[in-house]
Structure 1
Amino acid sequence: MPSTTESPATLWELIERAVRLSPAATALRQGTRTLTFGELAERVRTAAHRLRALVPADGESTVGLLFENTVEGAVAFLGALRAGVPLTPLEPDSAEAALVGVHRDLGPLHLVGRQEKLRNLAGAAGASPDRWQGGVLVDVHELTAGPGAADGPAPLPAPPPDAPALYQYTSGSTGEPRAAVHSQRDLVHGGEIYAHTYAVTSADRVLAAVPLLHSFGMVAALATALYTRAELVLLGRFTPAAMLRTMRENACTIVVGTPLAYDLAARSAASQRGAALPGETVRLCLSSGAALPPEVADRFARHCGPAVQQVYGSTEAGVIAAQLPRPDGAADAGVGKPVRGVRIRLVDEEDRPVPPGGTGALLVRTPAMFTRYLGHPGPSECAFRDGWYVTGDLARLDGDGRLHLVGRKESFVNVGGKKVNPLEVEAALLAHPAVAEAVVWGEPVEGQSSERVRAAVVPRAPLGAAAITAHCRDRLLAHQVPAEIDFVASLPKTSLGKIRRAAVAGAAPVRNRDET
């Protein structure tokens, strides 16, 4: 056990500190089920020993956790990190093809998840009930059940805080998902940043309305709760009604969610006219995973109580900037100010600093930054410039030091040498009252080095191409107007609700003529 003067550098050390200071305090809550910090420590130790008995300590094996927002999911996650086995968090309903891809990326993969899911995988592969693709299958309930031999035949060695511990897949919203390599110290630093930025204490109850398998939920909810000894409240499977009910019944003070979660919850609350506001005890709502539309923030504040604050970050870098609550309840402009420990640079194409107020490529250094993409040396090298992480975003700083995102450099469309920002075109499309969602990308023009602007739109009411094109011509320059607009029933999204732009462009049929 580390001395009281040492700063915790792993999640297990955070748990040990919580056990010393408040063993009987509630650490996890899901419905009527709770675990104190003392009980959590025992369950995590047991899960760690069981994993080490099942998974080879060969330095090549990885635990793939089909990570649900449940007590068992959280204990399994912490147990794998305590065991010192590299871990990759995965969608609990991952298709077999996706898991085969992860196996191909990471090598020997040992899956932890619900028994039903594992049984289906083994059956489809024609393998024994506890094997898949050469790896073991571990029922998450059996792994995390207690009581058990907490210390086994001998205490497990402490996992090194700076060793590769987490292979965190990027969202894939703008391209191919890659596994970013993080250490446990990165997670602890992330929890520390959130605790400092938002004054989180052991008196808080943090509702995770976002998947813990993604970096935002993992750090803003789980790591922050462990760092501050706050109570972490889990929903299990998300529904808007469950989110509202849990906020109210558990007197939550902090909510960690996505724009989609806040939108669905606000619409659900609006339908319950006359009901008490579900967020009467909530002092802070954090949103990340996608841009927060102003109308969503307004709707949630109107029907649920508190304002929603945007957090800007990435899987690779962790939290970069954050909006802070203001006395009038409004949100800061842009995506907020850089948080403690984060340094930023805005540079032009020649790597020169841009003048004040100018737009440039955003480079960052953060305490929670990843080291590389596993198995992708080329992209790993391109991701850094002299030790700075290249976010791929274009941004500017205003006079008050707030960061404003302008767009992503690689997503700009080259129309005859003129650069078109897809975000500007999407904003124009979304300004039409009959448009619910929109995504814009560049489509190569056959036989030319140029591109044309193409869009996919989800209509909320009957809408024709001529009407939406005329609408865009009133708001955009001629070269910005989409040359073609596809009307679709829905757009593919990540589990955080972010539109998978690359998937939309890849699925669109190729056109060889301009149909404006």
Structure 2
Amino acid sequence: MNLPCSTRTMNLGHLLDQTARRLPDHPAMIWGERRWNWSQMRARVDAMARLLAARGVGKGDRVLVQSPNNNQMWESLWACLKLGAIWVPANFRGAPDDLRWMVELAQPKLLICHADYPDHADMGLPVLAIGQAGFGPDIDEALAAQDDAPLRAADVERDDPAWLFFTSGSTGKPKAAVLTHGQMGFVIANHLADLIPGTGEQDASLVVAPLSHGAGIHQMLQVARGAVTILPEKGFDPAEIWRLVQSHRVSNMFTVPTIVKLLTEDRAVDLFDHSSLRHVIYAGAPMYRADQIRALEKLGPVLVQYFGLGEVTGCITVLPARLHETGEGWTLEGSCGYPRTGIQVEIQDETGKPLPPGETGELCVTGGAVFAGYWNNPEANAKSFRDGWFRTGDLGHMDERGFFYLTGRESDMYISGGSNIHPREIEEKLLLHPDIAECAVLGMPDPKWGEIGVAICVMRGGVQPDLEAWLGPKIARYKLPKRFLFWEALPKSGYGKITKKLVREELIRRDDEAANG
């Protein structure tokens, strides 16, 4: 059968155009006292696209962005999309050397840099500044001289890159996952169906995480449906966040478990009306059961968990609000849910053979949300793909009904006395202790056992509990950590996640200091 073969797809920038035509006067973004409707947002984006084009940015060119959340940073995504250029957002909390690595890898044509980061602006690139700065023209002033008439989005193919999504770099330097126009079109439709069904222009979404990462993808859904985006003016302030939820009748938020924990433990959660919330999404890491119960008791049945990596743009599994429960004996305790719409998930052994329910192996995935590969990194691509499956590096198992359970990362597992130990199980039990707020368990070298477990804990109060005695009856003896340490806080990534890499580095530093007196 001869069929016409076309790889043409919709430029993602059309989502903004379509919403601006349909809802020109409806609010698109609110940031303190500043408001933009969809018509104004489209005009600013088209003016910015012309501004970038005047500086030589065209289809396939990379635009690097170093900025915290603000409207200009968000508009730069859509300007890049409409040009067919590639958006390369940095974690704004990173050091100049982190940005320099992104420059080396991505070879961007231009840097957009917030005025608060002059050291990051010195990258040998043409620069546009967000705000008044000494290193480049203010992007808002430059926009004033640009035509803001509607600009037709560039033609794109399904596999044309749209976004270089940098991984968190838990091992080695961060890699750049290539997200394409065709893939992201699938992701947006999938997220709308699985995470925030029923969302429309009547809704409001509050941004509580960096738009450079998962929160940015989540906000693309709001553009597609015409829901208004609310940007907090301050940093992370639970009282201000709950005030904004009440005043704007916020219906959805994208978060990570740490953010949910901080928001629901703060006294402000009881001072404001949050009954408008329908979908509080947590992703990026599993949520410990104790934190899950607290959040459900405070917010009601609004938690939506999804498991996914940047490489699959979040689209691996989902555990919707209706399946979350607070009671003991919850049959899905520890589950990250079932496969997302249009996604196939398997537990595979080291040869790629699918394993039956109940057996532990590596979680592998295929489907329309899987990225196109890592930018200029054939070695990582060869390691991460096998027979068309993306290998997540996460260990787990599937039950008879097709729900998945994560044991941990392959890199987190340690071997003590010849036994494989997965820290996740130990952490879950430690966090059920009423005096423990956070914890991380990792394996450290030991001359006798090969590796031993070290539990680093953050207390709620001022008295250190005897965790060895408390944990002993609840866990197999060989899994019991050999050291229990208490810190004031655990180091977190720029996206608010507890990462074993940072905890390990801090533990080594402290042990070295103690050894050297």
- Band the TM-score falls in, shorter-chain normalisation: 0.7 to 0.9
1:501 shift after superposition:
0.4
Residue in structure 2 matched with residue 166 of structure 1 by the alignment? 163
1:137 aligns with 2:136: no
What TM-score, normalized by structure 2, do the two folds share? Answer: 0.85
Task: Structure 2 unaligned segments of length 5 or more: list them.
Answer: 1-6, 132-137
1:303 aligns with 2:298: yes
Q: Tell me: CA distance 1:381–1:241, structure 2 relative to 1, closer, same or farther (3 Å).
A: same
1:202 aligns with 2:240: no
Give the conservation status (yes or no) of the 8 Å contact 1:256–1:287.
yes
1:507 shift after superposition:
3.7
Equivalent residue of 1:202, what SS? coil
2: CA distance, partners of 1:417 / 1:255: 44
1:47 shift after superposition:
0.8
2: CA distance, partners of 1:67 / 1:155: 27
2: CA distance, partners of 1:153 / 1:323: 40
The 10-residue stretch of structure 1 (389-398 or 353-362) with the greater mean CA deviation from structure 2:
353-362
1:305 shift after superposition:
4.7
Give the conservation status (yes or no) of the 8 Å contact 1:29–1:71.
no
What letter matches 2:159 in structure 1?
D
Residue in structure 1 matched with residue 483 of structure 2 by the alignment? 484
2: CA distance, partners of 1:293 / 1:27: 35
1: CA distance, partners of 2:19 / 2:191: 18
**Residues 1-40 of structure 1 mapped to structure 2, 5 A cutoff:** 9-40=10-41
What letter matches 1:323 in structure 2?
L
What letter matches 1:489 in structure 2?
E
Residue in structure 1 matched with residue 455 of structure 2 by the alignment? 455
What letter matches 1:182 in structure 2?
L
Give the conservation status (yes or no) of the 8 Å contact 1:49–1:156.
no
1:385 shift after superposition:
0.9
1: CA distance, partners of 2:455 / 2:474: 16
Give the conservation status (yes or no) of the 8 Å contact 1:46–1:144.
no
2: CA distance, partners of 1:343 / 1:73: 34
1:384 shift after superposition:
0.7
1: CA distance, partners of 2:341 / 2:475: 39
Identify which of 222, 229, 232 aligns with 2:229. Answer: 232
1:58 shift after superposition:
9.4
2: CA distance, partners of 1:498 / 1:147: 39
What letter matches 2:406 in structure 1?
L
1:246 shift after superposition:
1.1
**Residues 193-272 of structure 1 mapped to structure 2, 5 A cutoff:** 193-197=190-194, 198-199=196-197, 200-214=199-213, 216-220=214-218, 222-236=219-233, 237-268=235-266, 270-271=267-268
Give the conservation status (yes or no) of the 8 Å contact 2:30–2:36.
yes
1:160 shift after superposition:
4.4
**Residues 328-407 of structure 1 mapped to structure 2, 5 A cutoff:** 333=333, 334-407=335-408
Q: Tell me: CA distance 1:8–1:22, structure 2 relative to 1, closer, same or farther (3 Å).
A: farther
Give the conservation status (yes or no) of the 8 Å contact 2:13–2:153.
no
Q: Tell me: CA distance 1:164–1:154, structure 2 relative to 1, closer, same or farther (3 Å).
A: closer
What letter matches 1:204 in structure 2?
D
Q: Tell me: CA distance 1:30–1:443, structure 2 relative to 1, closer, same or farther (3 Å).
A: same
2: CA distance, partners of 1:187 / 1:140: 27
Identify which of 307, 322, 327 aligns with 1:326. Answer: 322
2: CA distance, partners of 1:70 / 1:394: 37
1:115 aligns with 2:133: no
Give the conservation status (yes or no) of the 8 Å contact 1:92–1:113.
no
Give the conservation status (yes or no) of the 8 Å contact 2:242–2:269.
no
1:177 aligns with 2:178: no
1: CA distance, partners of 2:417 / 2:406: 25
Residue in structure 2 matched with residue 508 of structure 1 by the alignment? 507
What TM-score, normalized by structure 1, do the two folds share? Answer: 0.85
1: CA distance, partners of 2:47 / 2:486: 53
1: CA distance, partners of 2:55 / 2:440: 45
Residue in structure 1 matched with residue 4 of structure 2 by the alignment? none
Give the conservation status (yes or no) of the 8 Å contact 1:185–1:368.
no
Residue in structure 2 matched with residue 191 of structure 1 by the alignment? 188
Give the conservation status (yes or no) of the 8 Å contact 2:357–2:398.
yes
The 10-residue stretch of structure 1 (244-253 or 134-143) with the greater mean CA deviation from structure 2:
134-143
What letter matches 2:215 in structure 1?
G
What letter matches 1:10 in structure 2?
N
2: CA distance, partners of 1:101 / 1:316: 19
Equivalent residue of 2:116, what SS? helix
Residue in structure 2 matched with residue 313 of structure 1 by the alignment? 308
1:388 shift after superposition:
0.7
Identical pairs, percent: 25
State the superposition RMSD in angstroms: 3.1
Give the conservation status (yes or no) of the 8 Å contact 1:173–1:498.
no
1:430 shift after superposition:
2.6
Equivalent residue of 1:42, what SS? helix
Equivalent residue of 1:411, what SS? coil
1:304 shift after superposition:
4.1
Residue in structure 1 matched with residue 420 of structure 2 by the alignment? 419
Q: Tell me: CA distance 1:15–1:98, structure 2 relative to 1, closer, same or farther (3 Å).
A: same
Residue in structure 1 matched with residue 96 of structure 2 by the alignment? 96
Q: Tell me: CA distance 1:271–1:155, structure 2 relative to 1, closer, same or farther (3 Å).
A: closer
Equivalent residue of 1:98, what SS? helix
1:404 shift after superposition:
1.7
The 10-residue stretch of structure 1 (379-388 or 255-264) with the greater mean CA deviation from structure 2:
255-264
1:346 shift after superposition:
1.2
2: CA distance, partners of 1:86 / 1:209: 24
Give the conservation status (yes or no) of the 8 Å contact 1:165–1:182.
yes
1: CA distance, partners of 2:120 / 2:322: 50
Equivalent residue of 2:308, what SS? strand
1:442 shift after superposition:
2.1
Q: Tell me: CA distance 1:297–1:444, structure 2 relative to 1, closer, same or farther (3 Å).
A: closer
Residue in structure 1 matched with residue 274 of structure 2 by the alignment? 279
1:286 shift after superposition:
1.1
The 10-residue stretch of structure 1 (25-34 or 280-289) with the greater mean CA deviation from structure 2:
25-34
Equivalent residue of 1:262, what SS? helix
What letter matches 1:499 in structure 2?
I
Matched residues, number: 490
Q: Tell me: CA distance 1:115–1:350, structure 2 relative to 1, closer, same or farther (3 Å).
A: closer
What letter matches 1:481 in structure 2?
L
Q: Tell me: CA distance 1:293–1:472, structure 2 relative to 1, closer, same or farther (3 Å).
A: closer
**Residues 55-70 of structure 1 mapped to structure 2, 5 A cutoff:** 55=56, 57=58, 62-70=62-70
What letter matches 2:217 in structure 1?
V
Residue in structure 2 matched with residue 496 of structure 1 by the alignment? 495
Equivalent residue of 1:286, what SS? strand
Q: Tell me: CA distance 1:335–1:361, structure 2 relative to 1, closer, same or farther (3 Å).
A: same
Give the conservation status (yes or no) of the 8 Å contact 1:320–1:366.
no
1: CA distance, partners of 2:45 / 2:88: 17
What letter matches 1:474 in structure 2?
P
1:55 shift after superposition:
4.7
